Chain A
Amino acid sequence: MDRVLSLLEKNAKMSPADIAKSVRMPLAKVKKKIAAYEKDGTIVRYKAVLNRQLIEGDGEFVRALIEVKVSPEKNSGFDHIAERIYRFPEVKSCYLLSGSYDLQLTVEGKNIQTIAHFVSSKLAPLENVQSTVTHFMLTKYKEDGDILKRDEPSKRPKISY
């Protein structure tokens, strides 16, 4: 991977100037690269990774993993039915998987009822949806490579040879 991208993937706040110094590239070139990645969609957007469990009032937010069995369509396969599902803002992630079901969704709602309502009134009635299985999440430990629990401060001595 381009080192400009791998630095940004680890820390989206890193400035183009710092990236330029870190990869030994002229600043203008780094800026041009980033602009190109933003334009062609390689960089989708920049965001902060939150541990929402620590946000007051957010703790009541409920998340569920939903397994969805669907019947694919003649010309578009799974793409079209997937799009009809992932366009719902409640759907935070959507993957097509191999195995005993087809789509795996992460869905977020204010409470269990909201999610139940989403499943019964929006998801399940879709023509191509054959069945759904909903798993409510209890604790999120790690997301997208980020362990959500803060590591304890390093115990290595502050100075050593």
Chain B
Amino acid sequence: MKKSRYLPSALVDSLAPSGIRAFFDLVLTMDDVISLGVGEPDFSTPWAFSEAAIYAIEHGETSYTSNQGLLELRQEISKFLKARHKIRYSPETEILITVGVSEALDLALRAILNPGEELLIPEPCYVSYQPLTVLVGAVPVPVPLNARNGFSLRASDIKSRITDKTRGILLNYPSNPTGATISRSELAKIAELVKKHDLIVLSDEIYDELTYDKEHIAFPSLSDMKNRTIYLNGFSKAYAMTGWRIGYACGPSKIIAAMTKIHQYSMLCAPIMGQVAARQALREGAEAVAEMKAAYHSRRNFMVKELNRIGLKCPPTEGAFYVFPSIKKTGMNAVDFAMRLLEAEKVAVVPGVAFGKSGEGHIRMSYAADFDHLKEAIHRIERFIKKRK
């Protein structure tokens, strides 16, 4: 029988639909929910960044930019990375401005992976990693992380999963959804493995400015790692600029050139207004970032303390604006917990399984929310747990 022409491709069809779509849809229909389920800052973009974009629009800066993005923005990024992490990237050949880290990651995967090659992906992880890898015909190999280590990646976790098909590893620290980062000693061990097995590292460090107890260590700043790493970052989180959709990739010039090749056909360039706002963010944003970070820091401390008090075990996660407490003691699975909590107390959290099987038994809670909301949410969750005992 002839196949219908009006069907998605077999590859797209093979992507598993999100298991928690129904839960998301339900949350979106409900009013007066206290939501700790949001993956973006609760702050608006600092006004100076927005104002720079408005000024640019008023003065006719509404055109395409070069495929690689505004040179001035690439120069600012280069300066920033040198000052912050002591990494030198050439603005001309080693930096590409993208539509968020999401596009940068997609480009990186498409630029480097051949069909059948394996990519190690520590899990739980952000929802796009696995499907984007599948879409290029490569094979995502989940590396389950251990709750006992606070979901922090250990070199030993990946060692046993390296095969002769392994092409690279996708790191994300601080992590969405767990908030975990990776210690300096483990990073060094991972770097050793990378060298030994000649792997390429895709390092999504979008939450790097949001660490609270220790300084973030950028992967390409490790010895010998710059030429083996595609470093991905952007403005959405620390600068509260999610809607502007500006990210960037830094890496060896050959890979950046390959990524630019795809980007010029699929995206042409990132929107100029966003690039102008991002340029302003790098020039004058440090203070605004520090202020938002201080707010997240207090809330992180508060949430960790309170979750442990009400019996949801939660390690003092290092970064991002997420906590990922265990709900195993309640006897419910993550989806049931989230669903019933929503129905009984109108508090929205994201079931850990949304981020991979190893997220079962956990929920992701974002503290990018007003302090009074966090407090009320804790109060309601405590009541919810007590009632079910």
Contacts and interface: CB of A to CB of B under 8 A. Distances in A.
A160 B301 contact: no
Q: Interface range on chain A: under 10, 10 to 19, 20 to 34, or 35 or more?
A: 10 to 19
Given A3-B298, A21-B301, A157 B371 contact: no
Given A159-B35, A159-B348, A161-B354, A22 B302 contact: yes
B298 A7 contact: yes
B38 interface: yes
Interface string A105-149: 000000000000000000000000000000000000000000000
A21 B27 CA distance: 29
B294 A18 contact: no
A75 interface: no
Contacts of B27: 158-159
Chain B contact residues (Cβ within 8 angstroms of A): what range?
20 to 34
Given A21-B305, A159-B348, A159-B350, A14 B38 contact: no
Interface in B239-274: 242
A23 B212 CA distance: 11
B299 interface: yes
Given A6-B294, A11-B371, A21-B306, A158 B301 contact: no
A156 B294 contact: no
Interface of B: 24, 27-28, 30, 33, 35, 37-40, 42, 44, 126-127, 176, 242, 294, 298-299, 301-302, 305-306, 348, 350, 354, 371, 375
23 contacts: A7-B298, A11-B371, A18-B371, A18-B375, A21-B302, A22-B298, A23-B301, A24-B301, A154-B42, A156-B38, A156-B242, A157-B28, A158-B30, A158-B38, A159-B24, A159-B27, A159-B35, A160-B38, A160-B39, A160-B40, A161-B127, A161-B176, A161-B354
